[in-house]
Amino acid sequence: MSSRHDVYLKFVGTGTDRLFQIKWFRFLTEADTASVVEEPSSIQIPQNYVVEQNYPNPFNPSTTISYSIPNPAFVTLKIYDVLGRVIQTLINKFQEPNTYRMNFDASNLSSGIYFYRLQVGNVFVALKKNSF
């Protein structure tokens, strides 16, 4: 017998701003309850800190910024103009080890050169240039 069911998950926290991520989910039938369920091997935690060059670059009006973090940490990703002023903060929160892709929409900015700076805790900082 096959049917569809809606599943709702509710996480009750203590008011912290932590993000929960479900990496995999499986429903078990009565026949499955005696077997062991293993986590899929396709989940890969990054081994190094990596900040990719944004693409497309130059861009108009949006671009994607990709980065990887191998350890849980507080992450900030900010956009700066050529004078060093913060234009926009894309990320300012705790993140788990993973590879992330952020979209930067610059449709409200004038054409020119901008920089993005990723800081992961007190252990990693990277600065890259982009233009549009």
pLDDT at 111: 85
How many CB atoms within 10 Å of residue 51? 20
More confident site: 110 or 19: 110
| The pLDDT of residue 87 | 94
Given 2.40.30.10, 2.40.40.20, 2.60.40.1930, 2.60.15.10, which CATH number is that of 50-131? 2.60.40.1930
Long-range contacts of 19-24 (CB under 8 A, 24+ apart): 19/93, 19/94, 19/95, 19/96, 21/96, 21/98
Q: Is the pTM of this model over 0.85?
A: no
The full set of domain ranges for the chain reads: 50-131
Tell me: the pLDDT tens digits for 58-86?
A: 767 888 999 999 999 999 999 999 999 99
Q: Encode pLDDT of 56-65 as tens digits.
A: 777 678 889 9
107-131 residue pLDDT tens: 888 888 899 999 999 999 999 998 7
